[in-house]
Amino acid sequence: MPSYAFFHNEFVPLEEANLGVMTNFFHYGTGVFEGIRGNWNGEKQRIYLFCLKEHYQRLQRGCRILKIDLPYNIDELCRITVELVTKCGFKEDIYIRPLAYKSSETLGVRLHDLESDFLAFAFPWGPYLPEKARCCISSWRFPGEVPREKLTGLYVTNALAKTEAADNGFDEAIMLTTDGYVAEGSGENLFLVKDSQLVTPASYDGILMGITRDKVMALAEAELGIKTTERHVDRIELYTADECFLTGTAAHITPVAEIDRRRIGNGEIGEVTKRLQQIYFNVIRGNNPKYLSWCTPADKKTPVTEV
Ligand code: PMP
């Protein structure tokens, strides 16, 4: 099935969306990206975009940091995304990659005196991690002094961590802060279950404030009566947790079976994790009327003015 991109203010076939080699963004990581999931609901025959607006709010925060003048406001970005997904017409789970970037074909390390542009494309994407992930603590630490938004250049540390983990036979890396506290996975936030309560690293641990993280905390409290404590988490606490799971747009809720070759709980999917997964997967596919406001349908049935 052909895929499309929104590129230079129009929809074009994906293969026609190409950037020149001198584009500033390529050389200095001067871009901000997002990852948005479109979840296919077979019964309703439509795709639901999860937390569309929140993703563009975060993109906008990143753009402020990198002095990128986004040529569209948040409502326009949401409408562009719905139109893109409708045009693609996929009938399966998809991933949307919006990118705001310094588009001038000009070299020189700076943020000023450069043009900005925005692009987005969508493609079918199934599970990002295995059903149960085997993780290790990374030797790569995320630099503490840099802002935690989705700035493309910052992801080189995460890529180093992920490949170190893969080279050592693991599925995912867990990164520590420069102080040695647990921060997050290379593309996910992390939760522990301890005595039936949830614990997760706090914003002051330099994590990306994940949208899935936020929704999982809300669902745990509203649907299971489980509160989450946001605090420093020690590496050793990981080894003795009752359960551990990762959250992210790509990874959804992925149970962690093992960390540094130590089994978490009995190595199977824990009870709290399982219940949260059930609730969450129902919500993101638009099957729970209570949380439909978190989901934007993207198909010809949705008038774009309603997005
Ligand atoms: N941390 C990092 C480093 C990430 O790249 C992501 C994925 N965006 C997350 C956490 C999870 O964020 P979200 O739930 O908003 O996708």
Distance in angstroms (rounded) separating the CA atoms of residues 241 and 208: 22
The residue behind tokens 């989450």 is 228
CA–CA distance, 262 with 152 (Å, rounded to integer): 33
- pLDDT tops 90 at residue 2: no
Catalytic residues: 150
For residue 294, the model assigns a pLDDT of 98
From atom 4 of ligand 1, which residue's Cα is the shortest distance away? 187
Of ligand 1's atoms, which has the minimum distance to the CA of residue 35?
Answer: 8
Best mutation site among 212, 214, 217 for ligand 1 pocket (most ligand atoms within 8 Å of CB): 212
Residues with CB under 6 A from ligand 1: 35, 158, 184, 187-189, 208, 210-213, 247-249
- Ligand 1 atom closest to the Cα of residue 54 is 15
pTM of the model: 0.96
Quote the pLDDT of residue 290: 98
Query: What pLDDT, on a 0 to 100 scale, did the predictor assign at position 303?
Result: 54
Q: How far apart are CA 217 and CA 196, in angstroms?
A: 14
CB 22 within 8 A of CB 106: yes
Mean pLDDT computed over 41-68: 97
Question: What number is the average pLDDT over the span 165-185?
Answer: 97
For 295, the enclosing helix (H) or strand (E) is strand 295-298
Note the pLDDT tens digit of each residue in 93-148.
999 999 999 999 999 999 999 999 999 999 999 999 999 999 999 999 987 777 78
Comma-separated ranges of CATH 3.30.470.10 domains in the chain: 4-126+289-306
Which atom, in ligand 1's list, is nearest to the CA of 189?
10
Measured between alpha carbons, how far is 85 from 127 in angstroms, rounded to an integer?
19
What distance in Å separates the CA atoms of residue 114 and residue 111, rounded to the nearest whole number? 7
pLDDT above 90 coverage of the chain, percent: 94
Looking at CATH, the fold of the domain delimited by 4-126+289-306 is given as D-amino Acid Aminotransferase; Chain A, domain 1 (3.30.470)
Per residue in 206-261, pLDDT (tens digit) is 999 999 999 999 999 999 999 999 999 999 999 999 999 999 999 999 999 999 99
DSSP 8-state assignment for residue 92: S
User: What CA–CA distance (Å, rounded) separates 131 from 128?
Assistant: 9
Residue 187 alpha carbon to ligand 1 centre in Å: 5
Look at residue 304 and tell me whether its pLDDT is greater than 90.
no
> Residue 27 C-alpha to ligand 1 middle, in angstroms?
23
> Is the CATH code 1.10.1040.10 the one for domain 133-269?
no
In the prediction, which pLDDT does 148 show? 84
For residues 213 and 247, the answer to whether their CB atoms sit within 8 Å is yes
Query: What is the location of CATH 3.20.10.10 in the chain?
Result: 133-269
CA 125 to CA 231: how far, in whole Å?
Answer: 33
Q: What are phi and psi of 78, to 5 degrees?
A: -65, -45
SS3 234: strand
